[in-house]
């Protein structure tokens, strides 16, 4: 399954929770979305879908839009989580309640218009990609490579999320500089690891000012990326919207689905750095969820980190293969 199909599924989510409908070309034709697969576990089993009126079963993938009458079949220890339309929350499909037939939502007035708007925003950025995801390439051994700045990387950040990360060697020592328009704001030398949190006692960074993070290691030239701290009013508005989004759906969706919605909303507002932090935190709790890896890959792709994007997409594909067939 390619990114196009996954993106198509996400475009239906705005219709799923708010009780409204969005025409989506599911199963090769226009239809009203009644649900969507937001989480999958297929390491020991299979998850398959049979479209309404069809005879053949097909392999299901993350973010697959479903319509009323579609049937989900789960074998062995596989699990599928379906986000249902009309504010009906999610259903967890296992072997115990398989096969599961997706029912149509009953029409009614939505009481979550603000949440609906936030949800639409959280998913909008996913519609911008319309191509096959790249695949990771095998790297050749060689000498020490320069660090790769992962985040923040050329974009805005929330004031309370000043954590800097890069890709490097665990044996290397790094110098990190935060450089402002006029001079160096802070410099830390002989750092180990690949993470640096802006110290609470360091000089405050001014909103709307472009700063540069420099990471140096060995004889490599400094690796750079810029970032801007969001102004307090805008940051507070974003935090409030995220809070309302989570309050609206926390009781009806699973933690992984909620993390995906939060990340989508932040990314839609240009906060790729903060969206990535959300997904990384969720993956630390559940590293085997392909949907989270897929979204992380899209964030890396947005940030211009093609190799890291390809690795994330490959991991999502791997998690979707299930057990190796002999």
Tell me the pLDDT tens digit for each residue of 271-282: 999 999 999 999
Q: Round to whole Å and give the CA distance between 154 and 69.
A: 45
Three-state DSSP state, 132: coil
Q: Sign of the C-alpha dihedral, residues 246, 252, 256, 260?
A: negative
Output the DSSP codes for 258-297. Answer: HHHHHHHHHHHTT-HHHHHHHHHHHHHH-TT-HHHHHHHH
**pLDDT confidence of 31, banded at 50, 70, 90?**
low
Peptide bond between residue 99 and the one before it cis (omega within 30 degrees of 0)? yes
Place 133 in a pLDDT band, splitting at 50, 70 and 90: low
Lowest mean pLDDT among 55-69, 144-158, 306-320: 55-69
96: three-class secondary structure by DSSP: helix
All CATH 1.25.40.10 domain ranges in the chain, comma separated? 235-321
91 bridge partner residues: 82
- The yes/no answer on whether domain 235-321 falls in CATH 1.25.40.10 is yes
Cβ burial 224-241 (10 Å sphere, 16+ → b, else e): ebebbbbeeeebeebeeb
- The pTM assigned to this predicted structure is 0.77
- According to CATH, the topology of domain 148-229 is Immunoglobulin-like (2.60.40)
C-alpha span between 144 and 219 (Å, rounded): 10
Q: What is the DSSP string of 223-257?
A: EEEEEEEPPHHHHHHHHHHHHHHHHHHTTTS-HHH
Let me know: does 79 contact 41? Beta carbons within 8 Å.
yes
Residue 126's pLDDT band (cuts 50, 70, 90): very low
**CATH 2.60.40 in the chain, residues?**
148-229
């Amino acid at each position: 399954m390619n990114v196009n199909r996954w993106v198509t599924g996400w475009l239906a989510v705005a219709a799923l929770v708010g009780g409204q409908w969005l025409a989506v070309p599911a199963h090769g034709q226009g239809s009203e979305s009644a649900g969507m697969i937001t989480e999958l576990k297929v390491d020991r089993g299979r998850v398959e879908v049979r479209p309404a009126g069809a005879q053949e079963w097909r392999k299901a993938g993350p973010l697959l839009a479903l319509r009323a009458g579609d049937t989900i079949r789960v074998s062995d220890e596989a699990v599928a989580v379906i986000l249902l339309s009309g504010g009906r929350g999610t259903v967890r499909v296992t072997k115990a309640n398989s096969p599961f037939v997706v029912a149509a939502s009953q029409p009614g007035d939505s009481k979550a218009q603000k949440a609906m708007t936030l949800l639409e925003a959280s998913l909008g950025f996913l519609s911008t990609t319309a191509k096959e995801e790249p695949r990771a390439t095998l790297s050749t051994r060689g000498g020490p490579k320069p660090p790769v700045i992962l985040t923040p990387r050329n974009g805005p950040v929330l004031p309370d999320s000043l954590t800097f990360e890069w890709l490097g060697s665990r044996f290397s020592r790094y110098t990190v500089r935060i450089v402002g328009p006029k001079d160096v704001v802070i410099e830390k030398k002989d750092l180990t690891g690949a993470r640096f949190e802006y110290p609470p006692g360091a000089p405050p960074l001014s909103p709307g000012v472009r700063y540069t993070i420099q990471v140096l290691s060995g004889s490599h030239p400094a690796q750079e990326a810029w970032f801007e701290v969001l102004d307090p009013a805008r940051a507070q508005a974003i935090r409030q919207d995220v809070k309302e989004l989570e309050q609206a759906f926390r009781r009806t969706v699973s933690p992984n689905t909620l993390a995906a919605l939060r990340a989508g909303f932040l990314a839609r507002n240009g906060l790729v750095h903060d969206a990535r932090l959300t997904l990384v935190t969720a993956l630390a709790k559940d590293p085997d969820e392909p949907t989270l890896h897929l979204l992380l890959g899209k964030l890396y792709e947005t940030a211009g980190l093609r190799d890291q994007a390809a690795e994330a997409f490959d991991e999502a594909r791997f998690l979707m293969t299930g057990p190796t067939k002999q």
